[in-house]
């Protein structure tokens, strides 16, 4: 038998988020060839991105520097919901893939919430990535149940 709070957590997900789990639970997919590292399970990097790619490194730096409220907004932008499933990020398959943008790219990141895919242009600097990511996450709305 569930207590009301336990049932609510099962239905709408966890309020408490372990942000490092999102990055740690990753599978690295290089195009070509695919490479899998055992410590990373459910994040694919595609279309030329890989763990040590400049854009991916600055993405995670920008992400970890964001305040908690901005991280929650990113979660809404990326998944359509501000909560993580009860089992955490480890059971979500997440993708960050390169989006064509060219030098001096002004395009915003695009999230495909139904598939947990983030199209991320190859920004040249941390400041540009942060500016565009914040623009994208601040002007989005999700599908929250509660």
Residues catalogued as catalytic = 114
Output phi, psi for 73, to 5 deg: -65, -40
Residue 1, number of CB atoms within 10 A of its CB: 4
Distance CA(76)–CA(13), nearest Å, equals 13
DSSP E strands in the chain: the ranges are 43-46, 94-98, 110-112, 117-120
């Amino acid at each position: 038998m569930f207590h009301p709070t336990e049932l609510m957590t099962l239905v709408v997900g966890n309020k408490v988020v372990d942000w490092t789990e999102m990055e740690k639970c990753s599978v690295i997919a290089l195009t070509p060839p695919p490479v899998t590292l055992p410590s990373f399970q459910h994040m694919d990097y595609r279309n030329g991105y890989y763990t040590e790619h400049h854009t991916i490194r600055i993405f995670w730096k920008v992400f970890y520097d964001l305040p908690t409220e901005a991280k929650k907004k990113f979660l809404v932008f990326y998944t359509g919901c501000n909560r993580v499933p009860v089992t955490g990020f480890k059971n979500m398959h997440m993708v960050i893939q390169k989006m064509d943008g060219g030098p001096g790219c002004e395009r915003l990141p695009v999230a495909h919430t139904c598939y947990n895919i983030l199209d991320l242009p190859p920004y040249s600097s941390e400041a540009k990535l942060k500016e565009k990511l914040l623009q994208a996450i601040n002007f989005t709305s999700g599908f929250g149940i509660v």
